[in-house]
Amino acid sequence: MRQHIILAGALLLASALAGEAMADCTTNQVTSLGNLLFNKTVCDPSATYDTCTKHPGPGCVVTMGIQEEHLGAATGGDLWDYKKGNADPIDPRRKVGTWSVANDNSTSATVSYIYDAFGPATTPIPYKVFSTAMGYDFCTAVGNSLVASVTLRSGTNVGCP
């Protein structure tokens, strides 16, 4: 089983997690996504990754968490997966794709991710972000459905607590 973390899969599956009903994906929208995400690490220790298509069987949806670093500029750039850090010989930090912000500083602001480190690039899906008492909710830009609740950590190459 690959030991990589893919936010797109995690975001799609995280909607099944308990607590989804608590988010409304309509209030406290963050409209300055570039400032929010640039040079930050997105953390969600309860995110899941679906390995069922490549490894069918019991336990193919695993909880792996996400620790994704937003490098580049406030409009987007490289997306890195911290994993276990640069020094880890088995699961080192590595670039997994790119991120970009569209319509920043407006109510149409979205962030999209393209993952290309493990094969063909994924199709970007835009997400709106909402501030919560516990962190931030990533919601589909169309339909306003919660897909993940995360916290942010300042900096990159720092990992998540």
**Predicted TM-score of the model (pTM):** 0.78
Round the average pLDDT of the chain to a whole number and report it.
82
Listed in sequence order, the residues at least 6 apart from 125 whose beta carbon sits closer than 8 Å to its beta carbon are: 8, 11, 112, 113, 140, 141
Report phi then psi at 80, rounded to 5. -115, 145
pLDDT digits (tens, 9 = 90+) for 107-149: 999 999 998 887 788 888 899 999 999 999 999 999 889 988 9
pLDDT along the chain (161 residues), means of 10: 38 39 82 97 81 64 79 96 88 92 97 87 90 95 90 94 86
Position 50 scores a pLDDT of 60
Amino acid 6: pLDDT: 40
Domain residue spans in the chain?
7-153
